[in-house]
Amino acid sequence: MKVRLTLVLALALAGHFALAGAQGPAQEHWVATWATAQLLARFQAAPPPGVPPAAQPATPAQQAAAWLQAINSLGFNNQTVRMIVRTSIGGRRLRVTLSNAFGGAPVAVGAAHIALRAKDSEIVPGSDRALSFGGKPSCALGPGMVMLSDPVDLTVPPSSDLAVSLYFPGQTGPPTSHATGLHTTYVSTEGDATGQAALAGALTTQSYYWLSAVDVLAPANAGLIVAFGDSITDGARSTPDTNHSWPALLAARLGANKATAGFAVANEGIGGNRVLRDGTGSSALARFDRDALSQAGVKWVMLLEGINDIGRIATAPAEAPSAEDLIAAYKQIIERAHTHGIAVVGCTLTPYEGASYSRESGEAIREAVNAWIRTGGAFDAVADFEAATRDPANPKRIRADFDPGDHLHPNDAGYQAMADAVNLSIFTGKPPAPAAKKR
């Protein structure tokens, strides 16, 4: 009996290991190499793209503004949208996530393709892959729905550009979008152009539409860092099409360091976003699960948000928080991340004296919040972005050579200083267990 039992166990183990071998490299998992946060921009109704009224503004800039307003009001109709995304880590197999997070009606996606991007709207020959959804070339995105494409084989280098093309055969209505994409998006005048080598004569924007993430199949030790914040994380005032937001620059640093090359970075910043209340996009507390916790392979979150809450002292005093309000919200985010085994880096709020909503009472809140981030012990690590960007002669103000003129957002050099201020060894050690941390 004992011999028979041993034989059965041996056969079972042999079958298990044979199956594991057939499933490919051990422990590979999905990791988001790129992602973006979504919001619904609401504008008054305007004529659809391609059908300008007789009174349409005459200058190219005015025409572009009117066309963009039309997109955000009515969306697309029988048009292809080609969006450019920057990878952080590479992989040999990928999938795309579409989301109608804020749509009020179903959106039909007639076709979807992904390819390596060569330049402008052109793709690298031979790299085009048609995407399918449950084996079908099209899908319908119902209100609030998230849809994963079927995986496709495509060797994707790290720090490279991908072109994701979506065809919308009918009127979509107002799009679920990300407004400050900082990469040129190409829109065909009409028809399905998802498989074309380039979109000749395309109109352009710098937004993403219904595109939420691109994941790659990555080794077991690969993981994702979610940069979660407002316009300073989004990359406002950085140079478009140059990948100069601090999350993009951090991704480049990680990729150049052998010990951290397996870490991807997803930029989940939203310009104008607040921690405690909805504004431009849902509040940080409302969107944290969707934009951070749900990302494939996430291991770390970097939290940089609160300056827009503080700025309400100048514009809507009744909505202005205390330092204690913001700290309580940060603790909520930390606890929710720890519940999922995700560590959190607290990022100090950068200087803003001279900004339109800067006030002395707000500065006192910012300083109190930063002191808690540095010394409160609730975060798993700290990135001192204030120290990296402040003027040594006036710590309340951003350095002059980092200031593009609004005294709030850094320029390209300022964003580089922020990325350089992150200690990469944070991500190579095992973070302390949440239960063992000082509360």
Averaged pLDDT, 273-289: 95
On whether the CB atoms of residues 222 and 89 are closer than 8 A, the answer is yes
Query: Residue 107's pLDDT is what?
Result: 97
Report residue 51 as tokens: 């059908």
Residue 63 binned pLDDT confidence (cut-offs 50, 70, 90) = confident
Terminal alpha carbon distance of the chain: 56
Structure confidence at residue 430 (pLDDT): 61
Global confidence as pTM? 0.89
Could you give the strand order of the β-sheet that contains 176-178, starting from the edge strand earlier in sequence? 39-40, 176-178, 208-209
Helix 360-375 and helix 323-339: axis angle, to 10°? 30
Average pLDDT, the chain: 90
Separation of CA 367 from chain center: 28
Decide: 194 and 80 in contact? Cβ < 8 Å. yes
**Residue 338 predicted with pLDDT over 90:** yes
- C-beta separation of 312 from 194 below 8 A: no
Point out the least confidently predicted range of 274-278, 284-288, 356-360, 428-432: 428-432
Indicate the burial class of 391 (C-beta count within 10 angstroms; 0-12, 13-18, 19 or more): middle
Q: How far, in Å, CA of 420 to CA of 41, rounded?
A: 33
pLDDT of res. 67: 75
Interval 210-247: pLDDT, tens: 999 999 999 999 999 999 999 999 999 999 999 999 99
- Transcribe 152-219 into DSSP letters: EEEEE-TT-EEEEEEEE-S---SPEEES---S-EEE-SSS--TT-S--TT-EEES-EESEEEEEEEE-
Kind plus residue range of the DSSP H or E element containing 10: helix 2-22
Query: Within 13 A of 181's CA, how many CA atoms are on the CB side?
Result: 25
Q: Is the separation of the CB atoms in 428 and 421 below 8 Å?
A: no
Q: What percentage of the chain exceeds 70 in pLDDT? A: 87
Instruction: Provide the residue ranges of all domains of the chain, joining segments of one domain with +.
Output: 68-212, 221-429
Q: Tell whether the model's pLDDT for residue 6 goes beyond 90.
A: no
Segment 379-395 mean pLDDT: 98
Confidence check: pLDDT of 306 > 70: yes
Q: What DSSP designation does 101 have?
A: T
CATH superfamily of 221-429: SGNH hydrolase (3.40.50.1110)
- Is the pLDDT at 158 greater than 80? The verdict is yes
pLDDT of 70? 81
